[in-house]
Chains A and B, each alone.
Chain A
């Protein structure tokens, strides 16, 4: 017969565990080494208590922390007093610490210390054995994680300093099981194939456990045996590992490591470019001054003015030119006159010229004829006037003025020539020079 256990919800189970655990471990003391310590802005301190085989999350709340004479730090071996608590949202349990009692350095630090003394005794840290770093490394090797910050920091620094570097990364794990073996093998690989001139071995900051591979003997040995000079860059400035002591140079950070290996090259490149600009400047200055000298020369009267050299000749030339001009002018005038004479001669032979001459002659004759005619007219006119005077002297009316009268028949206006024509009593008209009278004949005699 089988009995199936009751089905619980996760919360039910967690609550049950919580109740049981918290009741059972309401007050306890636990001994362990502090690692992975994180101090939050809230003032709470979280860390892991560990020994060789196990680890336990621990929290020191702000209130409890403030009552401590000394705060725990990484690697501290301590006895913590407090209670177990289950953190339901995550299903984890942790030690809530109320009091702390320190018990000296932890085993990891102890091991580190022991190894350090041992290797120092073997002369691995000796300054005389450090290899000098190459001044101008052509290829820079890096042993680190391909995804970590170290390679990025190194590349950032190198890229900023100069563009023409050659970097070879040997990607490795830098924490956890097998990391030490990978790092060891990577260093050996670089050496076996002589892949680079200098090697940076490192990782970013972390807990003592995180950095531990760099405290392993195998890594220390690989660094010690490397023919390629090694710069270590493990953790932060305050972290020291065995690798740092064995390495030919310890850089406090990966960025510094990159600066150290590229320092000379960058400096020399800068020096070269400065030299180049200096040379160029000097050359430019010289070209400029040569140009100025040339310009000054150009201003010399002998060069600047063509007259200085050619003046005399120019003047002579001018004079010759004047003479020539004068001569040509004379020839021209003479020729002109000849031409004019010829033209006139020719002109004279023209039919129009003959016609003109004839016209002129004709006009002259005409004028003479007119004058002669007018003279004749005048002569005739004078004669006519004389005749007119003579005639006027013969006019009967002029006789009347001298006292003569003319008698007309009153009836028919005929002149009475004889007394016989008139009867007594007949009326007569008698004309005087100044008028007429009608008279009556009274008698005949």
Chain B
């Protein structure tokens, strides 16, 4: 993860906390609060998106007999979705 993204995260948190503080203050109008909430909600959603994919993706790399990765046309490794089987013993 790049430094820039971490920064963005921190900024997002700072903004979120500022919004929370503002909203907790007495002076903010309801309209303003709603606007602030929308902004915060968008920030939270984007942060959550950056932290986690929408759905769990569990893959296993495909290898040939020699133990080399099987590559697709672009030269990226081929994968298959993976579901662990019941283990009989510790290996």
Contacts and interface: CB of A to CB of B under 8 A. Distances in A.
Interface stretch (A59-67, A274-282, A332-340): A274-282
Contacts of A175: 91
Contacts of B30: 286-287, 290
Interface string A3-19: 00000000000000000
Contacts of B68: 185
B33 A286 contact: yes
A76 interface: no
A272 B41 CA distance: 10
Contact of A167 (B6, B59, B76): B59
Interface stretch (A89-97, A119-127, A199-207, A392-400): A199-207
B44 A164 contact: no
Interface string B55-81: 111111101000111000000110100
A195 B60 contact: no
A171 interface: yes
Contacts of B52: 162-165, 265, 269
Contacts of B17: 275
Contacts of B28: 286
A26 to B, nearest CB: 36
A165 B24 contact: no
B68 to A, nearest CB: 8
Interface in A170-189: 170-171, 173-175, 181-182, 185, 189
Counting contact residues on chain A (CB < 8 A from B), the size range is: 35 or more
Contact of B47 (A137, A268, A283, A290): A268
Given A166-B57, A170-B61, A282 B23 contact: yes
Given A275-B40, A280-B37, A282-B24, A268 B59 contact: no
A145 B59 contact: no
B51 A164 contact: yes
Contact of A151 (B20, B50, B53, B84): B84
A260 interface: no
A290 to B, nearest CB: 5
B23 A279 contact: yes
Contact of A146 (B5, B60, B76, B79): B60
Contacts of B82: 146, 167, 169
B91 A286 contact: no
A151 B87 CA distance: 10
Given A279-B20, A279-B41, A136 B69 contact: no
B60 A171 contact: yes
Interface residues of B, number: 47
A286 B29 CA distance: 9
A193 B78 CA distance: 11
Contacts of B90: 148-149, 203-206
Contacts of B61: 168-171, 189, 195
Given A189-B77, A269-B51, A276 B84 contact: no
A174 B60 CA distance: 16
Interface in A247-298: 265, 268-269, 271-273, 275-276, 278-280, 282-283, 286-287, 290
A169 B61 CA distance: 6
Interface of A: 134-138, 145-149, 151-152, 155, 158-159, 162-171, 173-175, 181-182, 185, 189, 193, 195, 197, 203-206, 210, 265, 268-269, 271-273, 275-276, 278-280, 282-283, 286-287, 290
Given A164-B55, A171-B61, A283-B33, 19 more contacts: A146-B84, A146-B85, A147-B85, A148-B90, A149-B87, A158-B56, A163-B55, A163-B56, A164-B51, A164-B53, A166-B58, A168-B59, A173-B91, A185-B68, A189-B77, A206-B90, A268-B9, A275-B20, A279-B19
19 contacts: A136-B50, A136-B51, A137-B1, A149-B90, A149-B91, A151-B84, A152-B84, A162-B52, A163-B52, A166-B59, A171-B63, A175-B91, A272-B51, A273-B48, A275-B20, A275-B44, A280-B37, A283-B37, A290-B30
